[in-house]
């Protein structure tokens, strides 16, 4: 298998909270209607890891998910949009807030900071590892 990639996906907790992914184990990541986000979805490979970010109320990375099925046609539209299936991996022991991320130079180039409206973005491995470490979380 090729080298793993890392991504960040945003969800409003009132629409689809991480706790629901925990309960349901997998989810169809639909509703993406932005070209750059779509390109990122289509670049995802099975097994890639995702930072699960809660926008609005929480403004924090709250958990880790993974790609369980690569991009396919979004079933909620006949237009040319894609979805992936994501699977539950683990919560962060300590959520990593946007304020923390903004205050940390290690994240200066992160899309979350620089392109705040992009809902699916790529994450560098060192950024991913740093979120895990700030989140006091180790993946098995």
Partner DNA sequence: GCCAACGTTGGC
The Cα 46–Cα 123 span in angstroms is 16
Q: Is 58 exposed, middle or buried (0-12, 13-18, 19+ CB in 10 A)?
A: middle
Q: Please, what is the minimum distance in Å from the beta carbon of residue 31 to DNA?
A: 7
Q: Which residue stretch of 44-52, 63-71, 110-118, 129-137 sits at the interface with DNA (rule: CB under 7 A)? A: 110-118
Nearest residue (CB) to DNA, 36 versus 47: 36
Residue 36 binds to DNA (criterion: CB under 7 A): yes
Q: Using H for helix, E for strand and C for coil, what is the string for 15-39? A: CCCHHHHHHHCEEECCCCCCHHHHH
Q: Indicate which single residue of 13, 59, 104, 137 sits in contact with DNA (rule: CB under 7 A).
A: 59
Q: Which positions lie near DNA, rule CB under 7 A?
A: 10, 12, 33-36, 55-56, 59, 98-99, 102, 115-119
């Amino acid at each position: 298998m090729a080298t793993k990639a890392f991504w960040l996906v945003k969800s409003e907790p009132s629409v689809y909270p991480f706790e629901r992914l925990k309960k349901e184990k997998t989810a169809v990541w639909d509703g993406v209607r932005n070209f750059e986000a779509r390109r990122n979805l289509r670049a995802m490979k099975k097994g890639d890891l995702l930072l699960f970010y809660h926008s609005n109320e929480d403004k924090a990375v709250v958990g880790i998910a993974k790609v369980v099925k690569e991009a396919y046609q979004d079933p909620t539209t006949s237009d040319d949009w894609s979805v992936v299936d994501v699977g539950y991996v683990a919560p962060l022991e300590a959520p990593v807030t946007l304020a923390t991320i903004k205050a940390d130079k290690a994240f200066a180039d992160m899309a979350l900071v620089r392109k705040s409206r992009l809902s699916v973005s790529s994450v560098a491995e060192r950024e991913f590892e740093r979120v895990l470490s700030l989140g006091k979380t180790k993946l098995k």
